[in-house]
Each structure stands twice: as C-alpha cells, then as structure tokens.
C-alpha cells in the first residue's frame, strides 16, 4: 500500500476547488495574474523660470538739426527654455513738453497739430508696437497673436525704432539731456 501524505490531499483539494470554481466562473482571475502598480511622477519646474534680459538705463535718443528723431535698437534676449512674447508695454514719464501720439493721431491734421508731436513705433519680426498706444496709466496688453515672440535658449528679438517729430517749440531745443520717456516691457510664456 502506498502511503499518501496529508499535503498531497491538500494539494488535490486545492486544485479541485480551483478547477470547480473556474468552470463556474467564480475563481478570481487576479489571484494568479501578474502584479502591477502605478507610480505618479511629479515635475518641479521652479528652477526653469522665465529669464529675459531687457536693456536698462539710458537708451540715448537723439534729435538732429534736420528734425530727424533717432532711437537705438533694443535687443531682448530670452535665456528661458521656452519661447516668450511681449505681453504688455507701458510708456511712462513722457516729458511734458513732448506729445507722444499714436501713428494715426500723428497723421491726423487736427490731432497731429500739437506742439512737439512725436510718434514712435518699435518693430521686430514683422510685428509693430506703436508706443503712443501704450502711454495710458498701467500700459496695455498685447494679444499673443499680435506680439513679438522671442525664441527660447538665448533667442533674441531686436526692436528697431521708427520715430518722427514735428511742430517743434523752444522748450525742447538746445538741451543736451532731456528725460524723454520710460518704456517697460512684460513678457509671458507662449501658449502654443
């Protein structure tokens, strides 16, 4: 007679129970499935902030004897990883002797007839910023589609100024330094 251990009976019983339950669809399939787990990774981007170098200090505009107004180019450099755009411009501290106008007002026969009428536009990549439109308190925002965009990773945007002045008065002539205006730029990351 062959001796059968109790363990063999237990194994047979377990196999029989599983076989019976599998036939009836009651056996949990996950009891014998591979294990899986989910790991959520979080991304900390606090070290990758927007970093754009904007010129500061005196930009040195000049008015020559023929009345031509010249402003230097402004170069904005984006050291950020992603592209940014100029989202807001504010023109403040305009000298009280100077009437900074929009290009449309400057061209208008009535509105452009004021003393020391001035128009200034800055352009880059086919996009233009009419500074006369941004002299309201707090400046004004620019929609991303209409804004100058600066590529990431040391991308540059050179804002070239086009300016004109007319109807000169003695209050601005003959001065070696005249505080002209302050221009502030705000940038934001592009959404596209």
Ramachandran category for residue 79: left, alpha or beta (phi over 0 → left; psi -120 to 50 → alpha) = alpha
Residue 143: the pLDDT is 93
Instruction: Give a yes or no: residue 76 inside a domain.
Output: yes
C-alpha–C-alpha distance, residues 26 and 22, integer Å: 6
Q: How far is CA 38 from the centre of its chain?
A: 35
Residue 135's domain comprises 52-189
- Say if 15 falls within a structural domain: no
Q: What is the pLDDT of residue 150?
A: 95
Give the total number of structural domains in the chain.
Answer: 1
Q: Could you tell me if residue 107 is inside a domain?
A: yes
pLDDT at position 147: 93
* pLDDT at residue 87 in the model: 94
- In whole angstroms, what is the distance from residue 76 CA to residue 155 CA? 8
How would DSSP label each residue in 122-171? Answer: EEETTEEEEGGGG-STT-EE--GGGS-EE-TTTEEEEEEEEEEEES--TT
98 occurs within a structural domain: yes
For the chain (length 192 residues), average pLDDT per consecutive 10?
59 57 56 77 85 82 83 93 93 88 96 94 92 87 93 94 90 79 91 82
* Residue 168 in domain: yes
Is residue 39 assigned to a domain? no
Confidence (pLDDT) at 37: 86
Give pLDDT, residue 104: 96
| Look-up of token digits 């009976």 | 9
Residue 8 counted as domain residue: no
The structure's pTM equals 0.72
The answer to whether residue 29 is domain-embedded is no
């Amino acid at each position: 007679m062959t001796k059968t251990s109790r363990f063999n009976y237990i194994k047979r019983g377990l196999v029989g129970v599983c076989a019976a339950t599998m036939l009836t669809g009651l056996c949990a399939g996950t009891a014998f499935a591979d294990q899986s787990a989910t790991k959520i990774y979080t991304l900390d981007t606090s070290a990758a902030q927007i970093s754009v170098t904007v010129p500061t200090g005196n930009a040195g505009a000049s008015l020559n004897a023929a009345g031509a107004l010249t402003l230097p180019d402004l170069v904005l450099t984006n050291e950020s990883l992603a592209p940014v755009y100029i989202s807001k411009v504010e023109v403040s501290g305009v000298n009280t002797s100077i009437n900074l106008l929009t290009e449309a007002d400057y061209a208008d026969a009535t509105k452009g007839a004021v003393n020391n009428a001035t128009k200034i536009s800055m352009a880059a990549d086919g996009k233009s910023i009419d500074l006369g439109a941004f002299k309201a308190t707090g400046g004004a925002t620019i929609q991303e589609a209409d804004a100058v965009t600066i590529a990431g990773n040391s991308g540059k945007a050179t804002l070239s100024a086009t300016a004109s002045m007319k109807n000169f008065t003695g209050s601005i002539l003959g001065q070696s330094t005249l505080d002209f205006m302050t221009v502030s730029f705000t940038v934001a990351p592009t959404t596209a």
